[in-house]
Structure 1
Amino acid sequence: MTGPYHRGEREAQLRAGLMEEAEVSGRAIRGTVPPVAAAFLTGQRLLVAGAADDRGDVWATVLTGPAGFLRARDEHSLSIAARPAPDDPLATVLERPVHLGMLAIEAATRRRMRMNGTSRPQDGGLLVDLDQVVANCPKYIQKRTPPEADAGRPAKARPPARRSDRLDEGQRRFLSGADTFFIATADEHGRADASHRGGNPGFLQVLSPTRVRWPDYTGNAMFLTLGNLLTNPRAGLVVPDYATGTTLHLTGAAEIVWDAGDSGGAGPADTGRAIEFTVTGVAELPGTLPAGWSPPALSRFNPPVTAGRVPSAV
């Protein structure tokens, strides 16, 4: 580690020419939960989590609960009163201690908080000893309001997960219209991280049943995700369907395209970078989220997506 960054993150910052900006942004990385963040956590109903499984495949998932299901027990630990469903890709992983990347996100206010640490089962939920806490900006978050309490969550048992090694036609169509997904990565030592990606519908392009692509928009210059990918290309995506409550989980390997060519949408978010992701596993889980979220108010920071053109980095 060099300061708050590991060698992959430093390499990405250097390659992007943003070393100085990363030094400034690094001041937002800490090892403890400040009081304002602890208060934010107690009001949240959704947590994105990511980790590597026993084979080294990285998966991302979503945990939900009523306000209060997340609680900072002290400035060094997070209590989560939820576990994944039995057929979730991370269900068995979280039955033992594992390094977990997490993102608490409140779409209604476009606020988010990133946390990483070592998780272990406790009292039907999880207890995480935190080693990294990061404040993130509201860029590219689509504003959405969740249903009241658990309204919209199915009363009967949900159907089992559907698994495959490639995307079917309906899944490809769904991804092509998505405006939000979450990505989990891990460094060479298995230390995980979870992050948000958002844009106008079409920013996530399906190239084939086993390949997707998205632009790497300008951010805070930390390169926590790309830095991990430089040391370990395995990654996991989870894409929520806010209307139905279904989540689509993908695992595979990601490749950074540093010079992606014509972005198809110029502007201050143009970086010239894109990510190409090869899918090796798919799990579709109904009923992960409460269904019936409000339609999105798209972020004003979202770059345009030009129809009919490959949306490389913007």
Structure 2
Amino acid sequence: MLEQTRQDVSSPWHEGELAMQRSVGVVERMDGPGRNFVRKAMPEQHRAFFPMLPFLVLGAVDAKGDVWATVRAGRPGFMSSPEPEVLDVRLPRDPADPADSGMEDGDAIAMLGIQLETRRRNRLNGLIGRTYTGAFRVRVGQSFGNCPQYIQPRSSEFVRDPDVPTAMTPLHSGHLDDRTRRMIESADTFFVASYVDREDGERQVDVSHRGGYAGFVRVSAEGGLTIPDFSGNRFFNTLGNFLVNPKAGLVFVDFETGDMLQMTGRTEVLLDSPEITGFQGAERLWRFTPEQIVLRPDALPLRWRQESAELQRRSRG
């Protein structure tokens, strides 16, 4: 009877995700987890988790079809879940954020709630309902948890009221300069947004965490990024999206200054390349070519402090 019930639930995987699962021979093995763990509502522990957080990672698509990742902060409690299918978010509009234009009423959005100090993370995607500028409601399309692998432990504190925007002006560019290149090459963490338009016309956006040793992202002389893909949960949400729609939005955070580097551009997935052996632990690679770059100094009102070396070692386990 249980098996019949599982078969009655449609698989959440789209063709790109299935193609990635096929490439490593796990399609059948991932069918059950897809039906059982990717939900259309948040479990109670996720509903309790989001209100605890002082920041949120978001993925959104602008009117031109470009996808952006961003990080927004608020005092814990700026998110709440009045019912399992809904997450309410109190955030003011931010015209300096290129992702903000993709957060209109009816837009598809992705969210990652992540607690760096405990290495907990939960993801969801859905549709925005917006009736006024200071908040929006997300009707959950998919909700699921992620393992703590590759999360670098950090604790955070506010250095100003999160409702007070920075006085610093965003810097727009079409290419990386020395400052932004150093920011990428020294990073041990970034976030990536992607999306697909599914066969039924529904837009599905995803945003996820990527982590490794500092310098795990390599930048070419031409300004392209090569990024290792390590062993994970085999959902392949991000790379599966890239196979269908080779667009990505990346955001890097300088945890000491609150600076935020946002980029949107094109991707290429490398399943079989001699370069893979040059990245310790990588199972495959992907490349990102930035087309629009926005550096936002002091964008975030939070500052983070790295946890002990022992916690960092365990975070890579």
Q: Same fold (TM over 0.5)?
A: yes
Question: Hey, what's the Cα distance between the residues in 1 that align with 2:18 and 2:10?
Answer: 8
- The aligned counterpart of 1:151 is 159
Q: Is the 8 A contact 2:67 2:99 kept in 1?
A: no
Kindly provide the CA deviation profile for residues 174-228 of structure 1, in whole angstroms up to 9, marking residues without a partner as x: 1000000000000134321000000000101111353111100111011111111
Decide whether aligned partners of structure 1 residues 50 and 250 sit closer, same or farther in structure 2, where only a CA change above 3 A counts: same
Question: Hey, what's the Cα distance between the residues in 2 that align with 1:286 and 1:210?
Answer: 20
Kindly provide the CA deviation profile for residues 227-268 of structure 1, in whole angstroms up to 9, marking residues without a partner as x: 1111100110011111011110010011000013242355xx
| Greater shift in the superposed pair: 78-87 or 219-228 | 78-87
| Greater shift in the superposed pair: 190-199 or 280-289 | 280-289
| Greater shift in the superposed pair: 23-32 or 40-49 | 23-32
Aligned to 1:86, what secondary structure does the other structure show?
A: coil
Question: Hey, what's the Cα distance between the residues in 2 that align with 1:285 and 1:247?
Answer: 5
Query: Which has more helix, going by share of residues?
Result: 2
Question: Following TM superposition, by how much is the alpha carbon of 1:276 offset from its aligned partner in structure 2, in angstroms?
Answer: 0.5
Structure 1 unmatched runs, 5+:
304-314
- The aligned counterpart of 1:126 is 136
- The aligned counterpart of 1:289 is 300
Determine if the alignment matches structure 1 residue 45 to structure 2 residue 45: no
| Greater shift in the superposed pair: 186-195 or 135-144 | 186-195
Aligned to 1:74, what secondary structure does the other structure show?
A: coil
Residue of 215, 238, 242 corresponding to 2:255? 242
Aligned to 1:185, what secondary structure does the other structure show?
A: strand
Question: Following TM superposition, by how much is the alpha carbon of 1:153 offset from its aligned partner in structure 2, in angstroms?
Answer: 6.2
Determine if the alignment matches structure 1 residue 135 to structure 2 residue 149: no
Kindly provide the CA deviation profile for residues 56-75 of structure 1, in whole angstroms up to 9, marking residues without a partner as x: 11111111101111111211
Q: Is the 8 A contact 1:59 1:235 kept in 2?
A: yes
Letter in 1 for 2:156: P
Question: Hey, what's the Cα distance between the residues in 2 that align with 1:196 and 1:171?
Answer: 19
Aligned to 2:241, what secondary structure does the other structure show?
A: helix
Q: Is the 8 A contact 2:190 2:211 kept in 1?
A: yes
Residue of 71, 74, 85 corresponding to 1:65? 74
Aligned to 1:75, what secondary structure does the other structure show?
A: coil
Aligned to 1:128, what secondary structure does the other structure show?
A: strand
Question: Following TM superposition, by how much is the alpha carbon of 1:85 offset from its aligned partner in structure 2, in angstroms?
Answer: 1.9
Question: Following TM superposition, by how much is the alpha carbon of 1:90 offset from its aligned partner in structure 2, in angstroms?
Answer: 1.6
Q: Is the 8 A contact 1:183 1:194 kept in 2?
A: yes
Residue of 179, 184, 201 corresponding to 2:193? 184
- The aligned counterpart of 1:228 is 241
Question: Following TM superposition, by how much is the alpha carbon of 1:86 offset from its aligned partner in structure 2, in angstroms?
Answer: 1.3
State the percentage of identical aligned residues.
36
Determine if the alignment matches structure 1 residue 279 to structure 2 residue 293: no
CA RMSD across the alignment = 2.1
Q: Is the 8 A contact 1:153 1:287 kept in 2?
A: no
Q: What is the number of residues matched between the two proteins?
A: 298
Question: Following TM superposition, by how much is the alpha carbon of 1:9 offset from its aligned partner in structure 2, in angstroms?
Answer: 0.8
Aligned to 1:263, what secondary structure does the other structure show?
A: helix
Decide whether aligned partners of structure 1 residues 197 and 157 sit closer, same or farther in structure 2, where only a CA change above 3 A counts: closer
Question: Hey, what's the Cα distance between the residues in 1 that align with 2:93 and 2:184?
Answer: 23
TM-score, normalization: structure 2?
0.88
Residue of 262, 270, 277 corresponding to 1:263? 277
- The aligned counterpart of 1:310 is none
